[in-house]
Amino acid sequence: MKTQAAVVIIGGGAVGCSALYHLTQLGLRDAVLIERDELTAGSTWHAAGNCPNFTTSWNLMKLQRYSTNLYASLAARVGYDINYHITGSLRLAHTPARVDEFRHVVSQARAQGMHFELLGPAELRAHNPFLNTDGLLAGLHDPYDGDIDPAQLTQALAKGARDGGAEIYRNTRVTAIERGAGGEWVITTDRGTIRCEKVINAAGYRGGEVAAMVGAYLPIVTLSHQYLVTEDIPELVARGAARLPLLRDPDVSYYLRQERHSLLLGPYEWQATPHWLDRIPDHFANQLFDDDLGRLETYIEAACGRVPILGSVGVKTVINGPIPYAPDGNPLMGPAPGLPGFYHCCGFTFGIVQAGGAGKSIAEWVVRGQPEWDMWPLDSRRYLEYANSKFVLAKAIETYQHEYGIGYPNEERAAGRPAKTSPAYLRLQDKGARFGARGGWERAVYFAQAGDPEQPLLSFRRPAWHAAVARECAAIAERVAVLDLPGFSKFEVTGKDAREWLDHLVAGVVPKPGRTALNYLCAPSGGIVTEMTLTNLGAERYWLISAAAGELHDEHWLQQQLPAAAREVRLENLSARYGTLIVVGPRARELLALLTPARLDNEAFPWLGVRTIDIGYTKAIAVRVNYVGELGWELHLPCEHLLSVYDLLAEAGARFGLADFGLYAMDSLRLEKCYRSWKADLTTEYTPLMASLDRFVKLDKPGGFIGQESLRREAESGPRERFVPLVVESGDADAAAVSVVYSGDTCVGLVTSGGFGYRLQQSIALAYVRSDLARPGTALTVEILGERRRAVVGAEPLYDPSNSRLRA
Ligand SMILES: Cc1cc2nc3c(=O)[nH]c(=O)nc-3n(C[C@H](O)[C@H](O)[C@H](O)COP(=O)(O)OP(=O)(O)OC[C@H]3O[C@@H](n4cnc5c(N)ncnc54)[C@H](O)[C@@H]3O)c2cc1C
């Protein structure tokens, strides 16, 4: 065994071997994979091997499509046979809402070059003559779906990696990981020690064990997942080599596919069953759990009704194996904060179909510092400290139960909540607040009132809560309203070198004392890492404020950029110490004037100003900015004072008709102002120039900033896409994220956020479109639930272009 390598991967399942293969594809030969047993001994050997492209996430679809493309050519590429049957698949729709979901995904897939189709019952039967179409409205056909032999896939990837110069050590167990004196990783195995610069934890459901070796925690729990395989079915024998398309009946919750001349049935049953809550037995490898078919009875019955030949023979085999689940069912990938050179790539629930794309992305992360695609939905830093074992268990069970649920926009699922609450939580609950969790924090999404329509709350069309949102938007535009917004990520930067350091970090300007400025932090590629408001509190003290969900991600980025010890820059995370009340609307000044002796007029407290003001029995850091485009202030308050200040506002606000509002209203209002949302509109795949944020980029900054060179080059050639607002002639459905934009029949862009703007009474989509089509007035179409809707590029911002209301 080698004693030194550039990269060591721990775990030889489909994912670890794909990571190794892709490292060698990037030219990194000095890579080693260590596997405690045989390759595939974890979850991989017994997987059903289904390889769908279907998902409502744009980047997951790219990742899975990359895999299915790779798998189709891998055998020939590396010289290792793989049984990969590209049979296509049918997904069945029993309800109109499911049809809406399919329409959305068909459009998304076509924009990625895949010809998905919506079929009627007769066409479904033409694809599968054994299908009973009673009660079905439609079905989605994915012609590129299929099943692969997971063991052969893994071996093929391993062969490709070995041919590329990598080494694999089987029957070698990693028992400890430490940091050496030179900062390298020292990996102890039962067959010796190996030192390396970088480590990838690809240990599958044992990913948590490996993380624990470096003192880290990963939110993963093991559930059991079962499928059964029948005896041979005479009708399938009679068809010879012909194979039926894979069938999924998501409204019932099972998949059913042909396996040789039999059928393989796998339900995601309601009775999700966790295992190994204390610890994973050491000896468990290449093994299964005991069969538990009782859990599947109702699903078996339903599937037999749908495909009657299924019930004509007995069950030959049952596979009940361990499957790792993170809270949302997506894997945990990417760099581990505080552990330079250590990466996670584990916890895969669909690790066969995702292995290809995940291997590519983690290899790029390790070798190039950033993957081609924005991996936020899979980034392990999306979970903060609240995602402990209790949380992951509750959430994983819920996710498993909804594995085939409809991917509605704005679904606020209940498990694992409330985790973190603002001091005003109960007060808001009493006032009819409905909550959603963001970064673990409970935030009001809207306030229900008696007489509001109650259903549907979930829909691809405008749900019932729009009545509440319309009311809240009106209060903000006409009177004054308050939003309790706990959980903003807040970092304080101090020290005599703080300004210089910040200047190098942000693409824009560091504001003067008493001022705040929106800023973009870029990767060396120019891609947007994060968006922060940078506030200068004077006396070499700055605050950086960003999204709640980004706390760990942003802190990690800031920590990584900290200068050498000789420079005086201190960074402190204040996120949990301060809460935030947003007070907005034309009467916001009058209301606040009743509660603070501070001057709030434009001269004393201009737009983008920041002051420390007395309010209630405390001092607030008041910032004159907001995300809704009206006169208003953000009040950052010590948490222990937040409720008393909220109560004062509520009491004094009664005379102005003060209303509470929630996130859904804020989202509607920010669309009208074209304010971007991090990780919806702003990702590492877009630069600030593509995002039409040129005014926030100081290309000629003398000291330079991270990403400046790339952005300069891009400015010279001109960005290939631009961010624009679109005013859409919608019907009862607004453009959901990843709706596709067309010019004639050519796909020219992608919607990143959409919704209804109540002040303008217009349906709005924010989108990236080809640069030559970004001029205001350009006529385009947006595909919404299968229909091309007329859309016109608007001038930004759509609402109050002179910002007169903000400056009022
Ligand atoms: C019944 C069932 C059906 C499934 N069907 C599908 C499907 O149709 N499609 C799909 O995409 N997914 C499916 N899955 C999920 C899929 O099996 C997993 O997502 C996938 O196998 C995960 O691969 P992996 O490489 O991440 O992990 P694993 O295959 O578990 O590999 C991890 C490896 O790490 C090794 N390891 C752990 N600790 C150490 C250590 N300390 N030292 C050295 N090595 C170590 C383990 O021995 C193991 O080989 C199914 C799962 C089940 C249970």
What pLDDT, in 10s, does the model give residues 384-432?
999 999 999 999 999 999 999 999 999 999 999 999 999 999 999 999 9
The reported pLDDT for the residue numbered 477 is 98
Least confident of 167-181, 235-249, 465-479, 558-572: 558-572
Contact between 766 and 726 under an 8 Å Cβ cutoff? The reply is: yes
Name which residue sits closest to atom 18 of ligand 1, judged by CA: 351
The rounded Å distance from CA 220 to ligand 1 centre is 13
The rounded Å distance from CA 241 to ligand 1 centre is 30
- For residue 67, what are the CA distances in angstroms to 39, 621, 789? 19, 49, 33
Q: Which secondary structure element, helix H or strand E, spans residue 555, and what is its range?
A: helix 551-561
352 ligand 1 Cβ < 6 A:
yes
12 ligand 1 Cβ < 6 A:
yes
Task: Write the CB contacts of 656 (distance below 8 Å, at least 6 apart in sequence).
Answer: 479, 480, 587, 590, 591
Q: What is the C-alpha to C-alpha distance for residues 649 and 653, in angstroms, rounded to an integer?
A: 6
248 ligand 1 Cβ < 6 A:
no
DSSP sequence for 328-363: TS--EEEEPTTSTTEEEEE--SSHHHHHHHHHHHHH
Task: List, in sequence order, every residue forming a beta bridge with 487; answer none if it has no partner.
Answer: none
Q: What is the C-alpha to C-alpha distance for residues 166 and 6, in angstroms, rounded to an integer?
A: 11
Angle, CA of 508, 805 and 634, to the nearest 5°: 60
103 ligand 1 Cβ < 6 A:
no
Name which residue sits closest to atom 33 of ligand 1, judged by CA: 11
Name which residue sits closest to atom 27 of ligand 1, judged by CA: 204
Residue 310 pLDDT exceeds 90: yes
The reported pLDDT for the residue numbered 37 is 97
Task: List, in sequence order, every residue forming a beta bridge with 420; answer none if it has no partner.
Answer: 441
Q: What is the mean pLDDT of residues 140-165?
A: 98
Least confident of 147-151, 559-563, 646-650: 559-563
- Residue written as token pair 């997904």: 91
- Which residues in 196-228 are b (16+ Cβ under 10 Å) and which e? bbbbbbbbbbbbbbbbebbebebbbbbbbbbbb
Contact between 690 and 527 under an 8 Å Cβ cutoff? The reply is: no
Angle, CA of 488, 493 and 494, to the nearest 5°: 145
pTM: 0.97
Name which residue sits closest to atom 26 of ligand 1, judged by CA: 204
The reported pLDDT for the residue numbered 684 is 97
Residue 17's SS3 state is helix
Residue 355 pLDDT exceeds 80: yes
- One-letter-per-residue 3-state SS of 500-523: HHHHHHECCCCCCCCEEEEEEEEC
Contact between 309 and 236 under an 8 Å Cβ cutoff? The reply is: yes
- Residue written as token pair 């942003």: 554
Amino acid at 513: P
Contact between 750 and 736 under an 8 Å Cβ cutoff? The reply is: no
257 ligand 1 Cβ < 6 A:
no
Mean pLDDT rounded to a whole number for the chain: 97
Closest ligand 1 atom to the C-alpha of 189? 42
Residue 97 pLDDT exceeds 90: yes
Question: DSSP strand E in 114-241: where?
Answer: 117-119, 138-142, 147-148, 167-169, 174-179, 185-189, 192-201, 221-230
15 ligand 1 Cβ < 6 A:
yes
The rounded Å distance from CA 333 to ligand 1 centre is 15
Q: What is the C-alpha to C-alpha distance for residues 680 and 643, in angstroms, rounded to an integer?
A: 31
The reported pLDDT for the residue numbered 566 is 75
Amino acid at 604: A
pLDDT digits (tens, 9 = 90+) for 102-130: 999 999 999 999 999 999 999 999 999 99
The rounded Å distance from CA 344 to ligand 1 centre is 14
259 ligand 1 Cβ < 6 A:
no
The reported pLDDT for the residue numbered 741 is 98
Residues, the chain, total?
808
- Residue written as token pair 């005479």: 234
Which of 21, 38, 43, 343 should be mutated for ligand 1, with most atoms under 8 A from CB?
Answer: 43
Q: What percent of the chain has pLDDT over 90?
A: 99
The reported pLDDT for the residue numbered 267 is 98
43 ligand 1 Cβ < 6 A:
yes
**The two structure tokens encoding residue 395:** 């959430």
- Give the pLDDT band of residue 336 (cuts 50, 70, 90): very high
Closest ligand 1 atom to the C-alpha of 203? 34
Amino acid at 196: C
Which of 8, 21, 44 should be mutated for ligand 1, with most atoms under 8 A from CB?
Answer: 44
The reported pLDDT for the residue numbered 564 is 81
3-state helix, strand, coil in the chain (%, to 5): 30, 30, 40
37 ligand 1 Cβ < 6 A:
yes
Q: What is the mean pLDDT of residues 141-161?
A: 98
591 ligand 1 Cβ < 6 A:
no
